[in-house]
Amino acid sequence: MSYLDVDHNQRVARLLALHGLELARHLRRLVRDDEVAQDLLQDTLLRAHRALTRLGAGANERAWLYRVATNAALNWLRDRSREHRALDAHARESGDAGGGSDSPFDADDRALLWQRVAALPQRQRVALTLRVADELEYAEIAARMGCSAEAARANVYQAVRRLRVKGLA
Partner 1 sequence: MSAKRESVRAEERAVEQIVLRTFATVTGRGGDPLRWTLMSDTPVGTLGLAASEAGLCQLSFVKNEDRFLNQLLDVYGERPLLHVPRALDEARRQLDHYFAGKRLAFGLDVDLSTVAGFSLKVLQATAKIPAGRVLTYTDVARRAGNARASRAAGNALHNNPVAIVVPCHRILRSDGSLGGYGGGLPIKEWLLEHEGARAKQLA
Residue 19 binds partner 1, judged by CB under 8 A: yes
Which amino acid would we find at residue 95? G
Residue 111 binds partner 1, judged by CB under 8 A: no
Cα 105 to Cα 114, 149, 163, 164, distances in angstroms: 11, 26, 11, 11
Q: Report which DSSP code applies to 33.
A: -
Q: Using CB under 8 A, which of 7, 34, 83, 106 touches partner 1? A: 34
Helices (H), the chain: 3-31, 34-55, 61-92, 110-119, 122-132, 138-145, 149-165
Residue 21 binds partner 1, judged by CB under 8 A: yes
Residue 135: partners with Cβ closer than 8 Å, 6 or more residues away: none
Contact window for partner 1 (CB under 8 A) among 15-23, 88-96, 97-105, 106-114: 15-23
Residue 87 binds partner 1, judged by CB under 8 A: no
Residue 96's closest CA among 83, 78, 113? 83
Residue 162 binds partner 1, judged by CB under 8 A: no
Residue 41 binds partner 1, judged by CB under 8 A: yes
Measured from the CB atom, is 25 or 67 closer to partner 1? 25
Residue 45 binds partner 1, judged by CB under 8 A: yes
Rg of the chain's alpha carbons, rounded to an integer?
Answer: 17
Residue 42 binds partner 1, judged by CB under 8 A: yes
Residue span 120-159 as binding mask against partner 1, x where in contact by CB under 8 A, dash where not:
------------------------------x--xx--x--
How far apart are alpha carbons 68 and 43 in whole angstroms? 9
Binding residues for partner 1, per CB under 8 A? 9-10, 12-14, 16-22, 24-25, 27-28, 34, 37-38, 41-42, 45, 150, 153-154, 157
